[in-house]
Structure 1
Amino acid sequence: MTTVAKTETELTQVSSTRVSGRAWLQDALPKLVLAPSFAITIVFVYGFILWTVYLSFTNSKTFPSYTLTGPRAYQRLWRWTFESDPPSSWYTSITNMGIFGFLYIGICLALGLFLAILLDQKIRGEGVLRPIYLYPMALSFIVTGVAWKWFLDPGLGLEQTLHQWGWTSFHFDWIKNKDFVIYTVVIAGVWQASGFVMAMFLAGLRGIDGEIMKAAQIDGASSFQLYRRIIIPMLRPVFLSAFIVLAHLAIKSYDLVVALTSGGPGGSAWLPSNFMYEYTFKRNEMAVGSASAVIMLMTLTAIIVPYLYSELRERPR
C-alpha cells in the first residue's frame, strides 16, 4: 500500500509539473513571439532617435562626428528662422508648415464634418458615395502628388483644357508661382485626407443615441440647433482624434511636396521634412539636418502627449 501511495504521489507531482509547465509556456509564448519585434523597435526606432538627438549636438557634416560641440546647429537654425534671406530655407519651411498645417487641418475637419452630416441624412446612393470619398486615402502621397501635378500644370492640365474650350482668359499657375505653390500642396492634401476624416465623423454620428436627438426635436430644437448644441459637441473625441492624425500627416508630408512641386521654385514649397532631407543628404550638413528632425519630433510630441494624457488618465467616477 505504501508503494502504491508513493507511486500515486509521484504521478500527481509529475502531472502538476506538466500543468504548471504548460501554463508557463502559454503565458510566456506571446512574450517570446513579440520579443524580436520589441527589440527591433527599441534599436531601430528609439535607438536611432537618441542617435539623431546626439548628432544634433555635434558638428557632423558628410559623416557623423561624435565630438560634442553644444547647440550650435540649433543656433544656426533659429538664426535662420529670423533671417528670411539665404543661405537657408528653414524660415520658408516653418512658414509653409504654419500655412499648410492650419489650412490642411482646418479644411479637412470642416469638409469631413460636412460630408459626414450629408451622408448621415440617409440619402440615396450612400453606399456608392462612401467609397468614392474614401478612395483618395487608399492612394499614396506619391500618386496623389503626381496626379495633381499633371492636373495643375498650366501647359497640361486644367488651364490648358479651359483654353481649348475657349476660356483663354483663365489662368491658374499656382504650381509655378513661389508665392502660391504651398496652396497647391494644401489642395492635394485636403483632397486625399478629407474622405478619411468624413469616415471618422460618420462613425461618430452613427454612434450617437437617437433618443437624444428625438428628445431635442420634441422640445422644438431646429436641425441647426440640434447639430450646433448637441451633436457636434458630442463629437469632441472624434475632433481630437482627427486632429492628431491630420497633424501627424502634415508634419511628415515629405513625399507629397516632392511629387507635386519638386520642392517648388527655389525651395518655396519646402516643409521641415524637406529641409531635413536636403541638408542631411544633399548639402552635407548632418548636424543641422538632425537638429531640424529633433524639432519636428518635439512638435509631434507636443501634440501627441497631451492627447495620450487625456485618453489614458483615470476617468473620474
Structure 2
Amino acid sequence: MATTSPGMLRRLQDWLPRLVLAPSFALVLIFVYGFIVWTAVLSMSTSRILPVYKWAGFDAYERLFAQPNWWMALKNLAIFGSLYIIICIALGLLLAILLDQRIRIEGVLRPIYLYPMALSFVVTGTAWKWFLNPGMGFQNTVRGWGWEGFTFDWLVRPDMAIYTVAIAGIWQASGFVMAMFLAGLRGIDSEMLKAATVDGASTFTIYRRIVIPLLRPAFLSAVIVLAHMAIKSYDLVIALTGGGPGNATELPSTFMYSYTFTRSQMAVGSASAMIMLMGIAAIMVPYLYSELREEKR
C-alpha cells in the first residue's frame, strides 16, 4: 500500500485552507473590489441610462457638486450622523453601566434592549412611520386621551423630518452599542476598581479616571460601526420618509439610487457612490492603522 510522505502531507496541510478559501476570495475580488473599480470608471464617463465607456474626466463630479440636492443630502447626513453616533454612544454606555450593576432583571432587560437590532431597517422604518404619523400614531393617540392641543408632526415637517430618521436609527442601534460597552465593562479587572474604592475614590471618579479610559477600544469600535451605518443608510429613510417631504430627508445613499436608476444620470450617481466610499475609507483607514500600530506595540 502506498503511503503519503511527510513532506507531501505538510504541503497538503498548507494548501488545503487556501483551496477552500479560494472560491470565496475570488467572488469577493470580483463582486466587491471589481464593482468598486467599475463604479469608479463609470463616474469618469458620460454614462446616463446605460454604461458608456467614453472618458469624461471629473465632469460627473463637477455636476454632482453643482446639484442642490447633493448639498442637502450632505447636510442631512451631518445632522443624522452626528445625532446617531453621539446619542447611541451615550445611551448605550448608560444602559451598559446600568446592566453592569448585576441587577436581578438583567436577563430580561438585555434581550429587550438588543431586540431592535434583530429587526431590519425596513421594519424599523415602517413601524416608526406608523407611530409618528400625525393622523394615526402618537399625536392622534395623545389627542384621543383629551389633550386636543398636543402636536407632534415632525414626520411631515420639512425642517424636522430628518430628526425622525435619527430617532428611529437611535432606537434600533442603541442596544447593539450597549452590548459592546457591556462586554468592555465585564472585561475590566474588578480588583483594580476595588483598589480605587479602598483608596477613597468616588464612583464618578472611578468611571471618569479608570473605566471610561479603559473602554477606549469599545468607543472606537462603536464610532466606526455607527459611522459606517449612517453613511450607507438607505432602507431606513425609504421606509420611514421616502426621502421627503420633498427632499428634506435626502441622504447620499438615496441620492445615489435616485440619480442612477430613476433620473438616468449613471455617471453622477456613480460619482456620489465614490464620494460615499471615500467617506467610509476616511473612517476605516485611520482605525485600521491604529489597530495595526497597537498590535506591533
Q: Give the structure-2-normalised TM-score.
A: 0.97
C-alpha distance 314-67 of structure 1, shift in aligned 2 (>3 A): same
Q: Find the aligned partners of 1:252 and 1:109 in 2 and give their Cα distance.
A: 19
Which residue of the partner structure matches residue 224 of structure 1? 204
* Cα deviation, residue 22, structure 1: 2.9
Give the stretch that moved more between structures: 95-104 or 114-123. Answer: 114-123
* Cα deviation, residue 107, structure 1: 0.2
- The letter for the 1-side match of 2:183 is A
Which residue of the partner structure matches residue 25 of structure 1? 12
Choose which of 180, 188, 201 in structure 2 pairs with 1:208: 188
* Cα deviation, residue 315, structure 1: 4.5
Give the stretch that moved more between structures: 20-29 or 94-103. Answer: 20-29
Q: Find the aligned partners of 1:158 and 1:314 in 2 and give their Cα distance.
A: 48
* Cα deviation, residue 274, structure 1: 0.2
Does residue 75 in structure 1 map to residue 62 in structure 2?
yes
Give the stretch that moved more between structures: 29-38 or 97-106. Answer: 29-38
C-alpha distance 262-213 of structure 1, shift in aligned 2 (>3 A): same
* Cα deviation, residue 262, structure 1: 1.1
Extract structure 1 runs of 4+ deviating beyond 4 A.
Answer: 314-317
- The letter for the 2-side match of 1:116 is A
Does residue 259 in structure 1 map to residue 239 in structure 2?
yes
Which residue of the partner structure matches residue 44 of structure 2? 57
Choose which of 70, 81, 104 in structure 1 pairs with 2:84: 104
Does residue 237 in structure 1 map to residue 217 in structure 2?
yes
Q: Find the aligned partners of 2:295 and 2:263 in 1 and give their Cα distance.
A: 50
Describe the superposition over 1:159-184 as per-residue Cα deviations: whole angstroms up to 9, x where unpaired: 11111111111111111111100000
- Max Rg structure: 1
- The letter for the 2-side match of 1:68 is W
Which residue of the partner structure matches residue 148 of structure 1? 128
Q: Find the aligned partners of 1:20 and 1:316 in 2 and give their Cα distance.
A: 33
Q: Give the structure-1-normalised TM-score.
A: 0.91
Does residue 180 in structure 1 map to residue 160 in structure 2?
yes
- The letter for the 2-side match of 1:182 is I
Choose which of 13, 21, 24 in structure 2 pairs with 1:34: 21
Q: Find the aligned partners of 1:67 and 1:154 in 2 and give their Cα distance.
A: 49
Q: Find the aligned partners of 2:84 and 2:208 in 1 and give their Cα distance.
A: 23
Secondary structure of 1:121's partner?
Answer: coil
C-alpha distance 166-126 of structure 1, shift in aligned 2 (>3 A): same
* Cα deviation, residue 238, structure 1: 0.4
Secondary structure of 2:20's partner?
Answer: helix
How many pairs align? 297
Q: Find the aligned partners of 1:212 and 1:264 in 2 and give their Cα distance.
A: 52
Q: Find the aligned partners of 1:60 and 1:298 in 2 and give their Cα distance.
A: 21
Does residue 94 in structure 1 map to residue 59 in structure 2?
no
Q: Find the aligned partners of 2:151 and 2:22 in 1 and give their Cα distance.
A: 58
User: Percent same amino acid among aligned pairs?
Assistant: 66
Secondary structure of 1:79's partner?
Answer: coil
Structure 1 unmatched runs, 5+: 1-10, 81-87
* Cα deviation, residue 294, structure 1: 0.1
Choose which of 129, 135, 141 in structure 2 pairs with 1:161: 141
Give matches, 1:106-121, under 5 Å.
106-121=86-101
